[in-house]
Amino acid sequence: MSFEINHIKYIQAIVENDFNVTAAAHKIHISQPALSKSINLIESEYHVHIFTRDKHRLVGLSQQGKILYAIMLDILEKYEELENELRQLGTEPLLIKFGAIASTPQILFPGLFIDFESTHPNIHIEIIEDGGVNILHDFLQKKFDFALLVNPFELPPDLADVRLVAEDEIVAFLPLGHPLTSKAILTWEDLAEYPLVSLSDKYQTYFKVMEQFRIRGLEPHFAYTSSSWQYLTDAIQRNFVITLMPSLVPTFSSTDNIIIKRIKNPASFNLFLARLNKKHYSKENKLFYDFLNQHLPKLK
């Protein structure tokens, strides 16, 4: 058998998934038996032991494997550089993948991506929106070039360059006429006394809110959860409930007859721009990053 670039990607997937062959196979979209067979064939064909094993289970890289893996990563990097150069020389639009918590690009970067693409028509920004939990997970899996993250502190220190974009906090959205609207500032104890609606556990807002109740020994009553910020703001009046979300939400959602109250000792909701670290950045990546840096100081 001939050794191919995909074999390097197979080995990389195994290492990055803590030598769990099943998880690695899932990540690279092949079956676990096929991945195991490929690794066994490589080791047999070239008479090397890339991995150490414990009862047939992969547990680490052998001494040979460590030497080979370092070389493989260099080759993979050069291969990606070659791909980038081919795309730049060809006619296919260059692609930058940008992961973001749902609706935050419209809030923080209104018109910014359109402005960039109008001046660089050969570069396309693909925005992938999801809950903060999923965006963080996918960024850790290196599926994005850039991402907007709420809690980047879980990132390995060498994975990304991280920059604060906006400071925000969780606030309470109440319907007009709710008993708590008479208070200047709310407490978490106040909020635990009334029915709440919340973003689902796909969103870091949910975990930030639950943490505040947990550390105070409170048990809030959540009527239901949703993955739509717009749906929750609409539900405030319809169901006469309270929802807890970042204060930036009103910038894109109607707040007629909705009262917004700050919370004492609030949960922070700071947003960070993360750029995946690479030894060599493509030209389009550099152009986009420089463009963002020119506009980030203007963001509030």
pLDDT at 22: 93
Judge residue 11's burial from the number of C-beta atoms within 10 Å of its C-beta, 0-12 exposed, 13-18 middle, 19 or more buried: buried
Predicted confidence (pLDDT) per residue in 244-284, tens digit: 989 887 655 556 688 999 999 999 999 899 998 887 788 88
Is the pTM higher than 0.75? The answer reads no
Q: Which residues pair with 259 in a beta bridge?
A: 174
pLDDT at 63: 94
> Would you give per-residue pLDDT tens digits along the chain (300 residues)?
688 999 999 999 999 999 999 999 988 888 999 999 999 999 999 999 999 999 889 999 999 999 999 999 999 888 887 877 776 666 566 889 999 988 788 778 778 888 998 988 888 899 999 888 889 889 988 899 999 998 777 778 788 889 888 889 999 999 989 999 999 999 999 999 999 998 888 888 899 999 999 999 999 999 888 888 778 888 887 888 999 989 887 655 556 688 999 999 999 999 899 998 887 788 889 999 999 888 875 444
Could you write out the DSSP letters of every residue in the chain?
----HHHHHHHHHHHHTTT-HHHHHHHTTS-HHHHHHHHHHHHHHHT---EEEETTEEEEE-HHHHHHHHHHHHHHHHHHHHHHHHHHHSSSPEEEEEEEETTHHHHHSTTHHHHHHHH-TTEEEEEEEE-HHHHHHHHHTT--SEEEES-GGGS-TTTEEEEEEE--BEEEEEETT-GGGGSSSB-HHHHTTSEEEEE-TTSHHHHHHHHHHHHTT---EEEEEES-HHHHHHHHHHHT-EEEEETTGGGTS--TTEEEE-BSSPPB--EEEEEE--SS--HHHHHHHHHHHHHGGG--
Angle at 218 between CA 214 and CA 221, to 5 degrees: 105
Q: Answer yes or no: are the C-beta atoms of 180 and 174 closer than 8 Å.
A: yes
Predicted confidence (pLDDT) per residue in 201-236, tens digit: 888 889 999 999 999 999 999 988 888 877 888 888
pLDDT at 299: 44
